[in-house]
Structure 1
């Protein structure tokens, strides 16, 4: 099903889901929406209008990258957003110093669709590295501590980890191919471990203060496959 919303062509797919998800796909900025079976068309159109600025911004990024010869099939991660994502800290805050590197951790799947090529690693790392200064600049003053190093890894069993004694945080490189809110949640989660080592009362109290909906985001993230 195709819709034209104020001049923007949208490809709509009906699914057995509860929320809508809009995605901007490389290399040409094609916009797609996954929507519940019974959701009225008017509600879909209103959702697009509500998020039009975000959609246009993502389309410009993808199209510009393609024009500059940087977009490659299977390399540029698609941008996505859902109505429950809320305001992201990625849009504000000053940059913060950090060091990052990309390394591998464990075996990778043999399915060609899931293989991490060098191009895909570079692109995923670029997405995270471009977001980190704003995220650290925003959350550092709120949390009161910042990592000494941020390392990007291809992990097989977790989304992130922290060593409080050294201030080092490791993030799963796959977060660079996912919705920005997941990267933000994992970073805040690991930065909170700079105060609280485990997941006890102190950790939960701080997370409730920083990200009131963190439990929901954690559940949604844990439904994703780590590849």
Structure 2
């Protein structure tokens, strides 16, 4: 195992934030003031991230990752498969469709103590994802602009907030953003190429941020009231590959 620290290390341990190699697997380890250790696989690239309590011994972190290797490989394989499916969908001029895939165990968090999945065969490299072009942009923008009036008419009275402005952007790291102080909402243009339920979820999410700046208890309580199925929608959305 090797690592390159970004922050000073605690005495006798890895730095607070470090990239390490464990049995040929690149892992980002972040030490935090938490009680349990968590393992995440971040779409769309399949990056492996471990969050560990500050004083966790290095050997414990290594053993934790090794014990979950089958779970990691299985979910990264599924993520690559999804990337190929979406690349094919775009190549055929179709929309993304997350329907019928079901829940993919482990895309998100795996807390310490949960069993890993059985080992999965190694997968080929993630294929090149089609890049934005004028035709895709125009199609996405037209789809969002056509859907927004009805969505706003439905959700503004429910949420009790209205945006001052909505901007469509090509984003590579998020599906939407909000500036509560100004009331401005930005939506990832790619949502116009996907199942309409994701545009609705992201819009409700950002409208809720006009009340709640973070994702704490207040935000979750509001989202549970507005859109009870929002957590499942978030999981499905975060499995999709972001266009570059």
Structure 2 runs not aligned, ≥5 long = 1-77, 79-89, 103-126
Q: Describe how 1:1-227 pairs up with structure 2 within 5 A.
A: 77-78=94-95, 80=97, 82=99, 111=128, 114-227=130-243
Scaled by the length of structure 1, the TM-score of the pair is: 0.53
Please state how far the C-alpha of 1:84 moved relative to its aligned partner: 9.8
Q: Are 1:160 and 1:190, in contact at CA under 8 Å, matched by a contact in 2? A: yes
Cα distance, 1:225 vs. partner? 1.2
Runs of 4+ in structure 1 off by over 2 angstroms are: 73-85
- Which structure would you say has the larger Rg? 2
Count of residues paired in the alignment: 133
Cα distance, 1:82 vs. partner? 3.0
8 Å Cα contact 1:124-1:175 kept in structure 2? yes
Q: Deviation string for 1:49-76 (max 9, x for gaps)?
A: xxxxxxxxxxxxxxxxxxxxxxxx9696
Structure 1 residue 119: Cα displacement? 1.4
Q: 1:123 to 1:197 in 2, by over 3 A?
A: same
Aligned mates of 1:208, 1:159 — CA distance in 2: 20
Distance 1:147 1:77, change over 3 A: farther
CA contact (8 A) 2:91 2:130 kept: no
Contact 1:152 1:170 in 2 (8 A): yes
TM score, norm. by length of structure 2: 0.50
How far apart, CA to CA, are the structure 2 residues paired with 1:116 and 1:122?
10
Question: In angstroms, what is the RMSD of aligned CA positions?
Answer: 2.8
1:77–1:140 CA distance, 2 compared to 1 (3 A)? farther
Unaligned runs of 5+ in 1: 1-16, 18-72, 86-109
8 Å Cα contact 1:146-1:167 kept in structure 2: yes
